[in-house]
Structures are given as structure tokens and as C-alpha cells.
Amino acid sequence: MKKFLVLGIITLLLYSCDTTVFERETTQWTFVELEAKPADWQEYVDNDGKNRYYSCSYNVPEIDYDVYDYGAVLCYVDLNGAQQIMPYVRHYEDLNGAQWTRTVDFEYSRGKVNIFVTNSDFVVDPPAETMYFRLVLIY
């Protein structure tokens, strides 16, 4: 009897949960290629001059109402012909033994994408290489 009571309670709880399901007849994909040259990165720091990161902003009108509200946006960084989904996190060491981690991530809103580069040592130098990104919009 206790098993039936527990099963009934679980069923009631699952039944009463709010879920929203969106169904589409077709799924569409759009690809957007982005390029960030070294001069494109803007430096940001907090009021104390700490927590440094760099950002590039792009107008992406393809991220419309349908994509933002009912779809998904994926972002990849191109690494010499190989794509890595973001966030991209890698560890580095230079010839002097200095070690750091670089994180590349992104955020999006309707019509806009911001890409961020943060080094774990908050180094002052912005990215020195041209970076290429691919957005995949699914809706």
C-alpha cells in the first residue's frame, strides 16, 4: 500500500510541474562568420583598475525574436582550421616560465553578440592575433 501511495504522490508532483514545450514543423540553421582583429578588442577594467578583460561587439541582426526566444546560439572559435565550441579555455606557458590561462566566451542578445577574452593573470596586452568565430543559430 505504501508503494502505491508513494507512486501516487510522485505522479501528482510530476503532473503538477509547469513545463512549456515549443514544437516547430521545421528547424532552421544560420551560420554567421565573425572576425576580430587585434585593434578591434576593447579593454575593460573595474573601478580599481583590476579584473581586466577584452571584448569585441558585433551587430548580428540574424539573432531576431525567433532565435532569441525559441532558438539557440552556439559560438565556435577557429583554431587554425579546427573549431572549438566556446567557452574556450587553454593553459599556456612562455619561454620565461610564466603560466596563464586564456578564456574566450560570449554572450548574446537580440541583434548583438559580445565575445570576451580574459587571461588568468589579467595581462595588459590585448589579443595579438586575428581571431575567427562562427555563430550557429538554430531556430
Band the pLDDT of 92: cuts 50, 70, 90: confident
For the domain covering 27-138, report its CATH number: 2.60.40
pLDDT digits (tens, 9 = 90+) for 29-80: 999 999 999 999 999 988 888 889 999 999 999 999 999 999 999 999 998 8
pLDDT digits (tens, 9 = 90+) for 13-28: 555 556 566 666 778 9
Task: Give the position of cell 599556456.
Answer: 92
The conformation of residue 85, written as its DSSP 8-state character, comes to E
- Average pLDDT (101-121) is 95
Q: In whole angstroms, what is the distance from residue 36 CA to residue 4 CA?
A: 61
What are the residues whose beta carbons fall under 8 Å from the beta carbon of 52, sequence distance 6 or more?
A: 43, 44, 45, 118, 119, 122, 123, 124
Q: Where are the alpha helices (DSSP H) in the chain?
A: 2-16, 65-70
